[in-house]
Amino acid sequence: MKERYGNGAWCQYGFVDAFNPLTNWYDHDVIGIDTGITMVMVENARTGFVWETFMKNPEAQRGMARAGFQSSPALELQDKNPNPSPATSDSSDPKVG
């Protein structure tokens, strides 16, 4: 998007909050709440830290149980390392590609 729409869509803090290239209108605002949640989502996808920390909260556990959610053993195994980072892979391990 940055290459296609240029400097109007991109500023010092990243993409602007909104723009309309058909009318050549670009908002001057960058809203931190949009950017902040993206960083939290990336960390959660990368390590699961956010979800694991959230689920340590007794109120969250109770709410999830009341809503009918249950843990799945298959997902728990997958969640141990869903997205292994190449930087943390042990290349001396013959099981690691």
23 and 38 inside one domain: no
Sequence-ordered alpha helix ranges (H) in the chain: 2-5, 32-47, 49-55, 58-66, 73-79
- Residues 84 and 81: their CA atoms lie apart, in Å, by 6
> In a 3-state reduction of DSSP, which class is residue 86?
helix
Q: What is the pLDDT along the chain (97 residues), one digit of tens a residue?
A: 788 888 888 888 878 888 898 999 998 887 777 677 888 889 999 999 999 999 999 999 999 999 999 887 766 655 555 555 544 444 444 444 4
Q: Is 0.85 topped by the overall pTM?
A: no
Q: How many helices (H) and strands (E) does the chain have?
A: 5, 4
Q: Residue 1 sits in which domain range?
A: 1-30
Indicate the number of domains in the chain: 2
Q: For position 81, what pLDDT does the model report?
A: 55
- Report yes or no on 88 lying in a domain: no
Residues 47, 59: one domain?
yes
**In-domain check, residue 22:** yes
pLDDT number for residue 33: 73
